[in-house]
Structure 1
Amino acid sequence: MNHASATSPGPDVQNRVPTLHVSLSRVGVTGVEKIIRLEREGGQQLFSAELECFVDLGPRQKGAHMSRFEEDVNGAIGEVVLGDAAFRAETLAERIAEIVRERQQALRAEVTIKARYPEEKPAPVSGIRTQEIYTMLGAAVASEHGTRRMIGVTAQGMTACPCAQELVAAKARERLGADFNEEEIEKIFAAVPVATHNQRGLGTLHIGLPEGSDVELDATDLVAIVEESMSSEIYELMKRSDEGTVVEKAHRRPRFVEDCVREAIRGVIDRYPDLPADVFVSSRQENLESIHQHNVVAERFGLLGELRQEIGSGDHLPHHTSMREWLDGAGRPAV
């Protein structure tokens, strides 16, 4: 007679040997929504965040323990939200990745965090306080060799098209030439910005720190780099004087989508001259076109050493280390 209870736990199916012995690159959960506490400018704030969590799966393990992902994430979140300390987004991702790797007995674990947060800043002329919404990004990959982390931000701004501005300026020169000499025309252009069409820009900047790095970067500094890379910052609430200032600033600094990416790279190199060569950098700009039905995108990614080499020599490097390559390189031997 079988005395086993119908509710007795059966064998752990996830630990069975699969029918095909092939490892899986990433197995995990996405769309995990949590309220987390993060460190912000010396204080603490609660954020609404979305998390993703993955592990490598070996060729002889049938599946990951999916229910444990939720337990592991909840445990780490509880430590941060209920404890006295607050962490940066990338540090929280690091904590969760290390816990998940240990509990899942995985070679590697990867966690990403995306949190929306408000920031108050004054309008440029009136000083009226306005709440702007930014996105803070954190990621970490834990392996037996340590944990590499990544911090990132997404911010909005405004760009003015240089090409259309030159076309408008050329026609204006023709008309002004009937009544003014060249010197007078130059004075007019110096005093009055030339019209062009505008775009709202979405800039994203990531900086990745390798295993063992003790460097700490502030998301506020990254936001400043992204906003400065565009023609002008934008503000949710403005008086007329602010609107005029923003529009004039943008038209005096016309930039293509490609210019924004290069300026963000310049901002990282200038602001962080002491970062080592194996730090990863990614800049992405998307402009929402106003006179076209499509949008435009530009990106540059690579190790900081690669970027410095290309800037110094002016020669194109045939290979740019991608974010996926950099993340996947954690704890894996070079081929």
Structure 2
Amino acid sequence: MQPPSSLVTSPDVQAQRPTVHLSLSRVGVTGVEKVIRISRDGHEELYWARLECFVDLGPSQKGAHMSRFEETVNDAISEVILGTSAFRAEELAQRIAEQVRDRQDARRAEVTIAARYPEHKPAPVSGIQTQELYTLFGTAVATTAGTRRLIGVAAQGMTACPCAQELVAGAARARLGDDGFDDDQIERILEHVPVATHNQRGLGTLHVGCPEDCDVDVDAATLLSIVEDSMSSEIYELMKRSDEAAVVEKAHRRPRFVEDCVREMISGVAQRLPDLDPSAFVSARQENLETIHQHNVVAERFGLVSELRREIASGAHAEHHTSMQDWLAG
């Protein structure tokens, strides 16, 4: 008599030996989407999050247990729902990475979270409340040596091109001179009247990585402030006319290249996070969506805090820029 089908045990195919005995660098799942409920200041907020989970795979194991990724993600999310004052993506990533590593019996697990969340802030002149959406990143890599974490943010802003502004200012000086204004008068006019230039909507991204024994609290709000302040001006979804005038004038009085934005981000981290360990990691990226070209422009800088501090202090070109993958690999 055959036992009922519910009592028949299926073979663990994933645990079998593969045909080719070769380890794999990363195996996992991508595109996992979750809505996370966070209790904050007495009310719940919703964060839409996309997750990726990976482990390394040894040469003697045919495959990873894919269902365990989903189970671990659900368990970890359930743990952070109640009584949480602030959502920290890197802490959730760490929790998932360490559990995934244990459940998959892996040497290394890597988890990345990208969460969209709202912040309310007043427009610069009218004070009208506007809702802005930001992206919060959290990455964790769990190994036998411990867990490394990355916290990151992405924000949009506005940049004004310095090169085109100088060209327009030069033409204005010539016309004013031809019209009888002297040099002192021309400079006073240009000081009081912002000079036109072409603008871009900028996409700034900043990551800070904490080594295994890091005890410095890196707040996402601080990183957002650094990113937005690196551009010519912040932008707002809802503005009155007075706000529009203030944003445009601010941007034109602080013209910045895409390269300037990245350097300002790195400088902002150095100034506002002075207690970061020299072995911590920083990555800054700026992409500007051009308005007078069909292409976009990008600038990046990444490296250890020690590398960045040394170069800022000396002005000498650093021979080595530690990449994010190098740093995560330890």
TM class by smaller structure? over 0.9
Q: Counterpart in 2 of 1:54?
A: 54
1:10 Cα deviation from its structure 2 partner: 2.5
Does the alignment pair 1:206 with 2:216?
Answer: no
- Counterpart of 1:75 in structure 2 is 75
Distance 1:162 1:245, change over 3 A: same
Are 1:279 and 2:255 matched, yes or no? no
Runs of 4+ in 1 over 2 A off after TM superposition: 2-7, 37-46, 83-87
Equivalent residues in 2 for 1:203-242, closer than 5 Å:
203-242=204-243
2:14 aligned residue: 14
C-alpha separation in 2, matches of 1:220 and 1:188:
38
State the alpha-carbon separation in 2 of the partners of residues 265 and 245 from structure 1.
26
The question of whether the paired residues in 1 share the 8 Å contact of 2:149 and 2:211 is answered with: yes
- Who is 1:192 aligned against? 193
| Contact 1:38/1:89 (<8 A) preserved | no
CA distance in 2, matches of 1:40, 1:268: 27
Spell out the pairing of 1:108-123 with structure 2 (5 A cutoff). 108-123=108-123
**What are the equivalent positions in structure 2 for 1:1-335 lying under 5 Å apart?**
3=2, 8-38=8-38, 45-81=45-81, 83-85=82-84, 87-178=87-178, 179-329=180-330
| Cα distance in 2, alignment partners of residues 139 and 44 from structure 1 | 24
1:178-204 CA distance string (max 9 Å, x none)? 211111111011100110000000000
* Contact in 1 for aligned 2:40/2:84 (Cα 8 Å): no
Structure 2 gap ranges (5+):
none
Note the C-alpha offset of 1:39: 7.4
In the TM superposition, what is the alpha-carbon distance from 1:315 to its structure 2 partner? 1.5
Alpha-carbon deviation of 1:79?
1.5
Q: Distance in 2 between matches of 1:115 and 1:208?
A: 17
Aligned 8 A contact 2:120 2:131 in 1: yes
State how far apart, in whole Å, the 2-side matches of 1:278 and 1:158 are.
32
Q: Which amino acid in 2 is paired with 1:62?
A: K
**Per-residue CA shift, 1:105-151, capped at 9, x if unaligned?**
11011111111111111111111111111001111111111111111
Deviations 1:20-59 (A, max 9, x none): 2211111100111112245768986331111110001111
Q: Which runs of 5+ in 1 are unaligned?
A: 330-335
| CA displacement 1:249-304 (0-9 Å, x = unmatched) | 10010000000000000000000111111110000000000111111000001111
CA RMSD of aligned residues (A): 1.7
CA displacement, residues 206-248 of structure 1 (integer Å, 9 cap, x when unaligned): 0000002122211111110000000000011111111111101
* Structure 2 CA distance for aligned equivalents of residues 53 and 313 of structure 1: 40
* Whole-angstrom distance in 1 between the partners of 2:37 and 2:282: 26
Q: 1:327 Cα shift?
A: 1.5
Number of aligned positions between the proteins: 327
Aligned AA for 1:210? P
TM-score computed with the length of structure 1 as normaliser:
0.94
Query: Could you tell me which amino acid in structure 2 is paired with residue 84 of structure 1?
Result: G
Q: Which amino acid aligns with 2:109?
A: A
Q: Take 1:190 and 1:239, find their aligned partners in 2: how far apart are those partners?
A: 25
* Secondary structure of the structure 1 residue equivalent to 2:233: coil
Deviation at 1:310, TM superposition (A): 1.2
CA distance in 2, matches of 1:143, 1:42: 37
Is the CA contact (8 Å cut-off) linking 2:205 and 2:286 kept in structure 1? yes
**Which residue type is aligned with residue 298 of structure 1?**
A
Q: Which letter does structure 1 place at the counterpart of 2:143?
A: S
Specify the code of the residue in structure 2 equivalent to 1:203.
G
What residue identity is the alignment partner of 1:72?
T
Q: What's the TM-score once normalised by structure 2's chain length?
A: 0.95
Cα distance in 1 between the residues matched to 2:42 and 2:122: 20
Given that residues 32 and 50 in structure 1 are in contact (C-alpha distance below 8 angstroms), is that contact kept between their aligned partners in structure 2?
yes
Q: Is contact 1:38-1:88 (8 Å) kept?
A: no
Query: Quick one: structure 1 residues 147 and 32, their matched pair in 2 at CA, closer, same or farther if it must change by over 3 Å?
Result: same
